[in-house]
């Protein structure tokens, strides 16, 4: 059962990664400013692609990575945040 759940999570991140080009960078920026930027400096994501950042956020939201704050974001919101962080970190 847990294994199946993990597979679904992995499949969902793959889907979100392919949809990353449709991500809304401005919407991601709003979420980051409201929720994440108190603790995260975007330079930490330097060299990472939106798909890599998206996968990391999925792990945090799924509770697989220790995180000081419980995150509740939809797949679309995670893709938006990943697109925003990648765009500010790599420019």
Binding site for ligand HEC (CB under 6 A): 31, 35-36, 38-40, 44, 56-57, 60, 65, 67-69, 71, 73, 81
Least Cα distance to 33 among 21, 41, 43, 22 occurs for 41
Q: How far is the CB of 48 from ligand HEC (least distance, A)?
A: 9
Q: How far is the CB of 68 from ligand HEC (least distance, A)?
A: 4
Task: Give the ranges where the chain is alpha helix by DSSP (H).
Answer: 2-18, 25-31, 50-61, 75-89
Q: How far is the CB of 54 from ligand HEC (least distance, A)?
A: 9
């Amino acid at each position: 059962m847990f294994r199946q759940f993990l597979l679904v999570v992995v499949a969902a991140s793959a889907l979100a990664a392919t949809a990353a080009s449709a991500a809304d960078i401005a919407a991601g920026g709003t979420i980051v400013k409201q929720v994440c930027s108190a603790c995260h400096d975007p330079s930490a994501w330097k060299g990472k692609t939106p798909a890599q950042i998206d996968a990391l956020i999925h792990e945090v939201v799924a509770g697989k990575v220790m995180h000081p704050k419980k995150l509740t974001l939809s797949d679309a919101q995670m893709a938006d945040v990943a697109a925003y962080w990648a765009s500010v970190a790599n420019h």
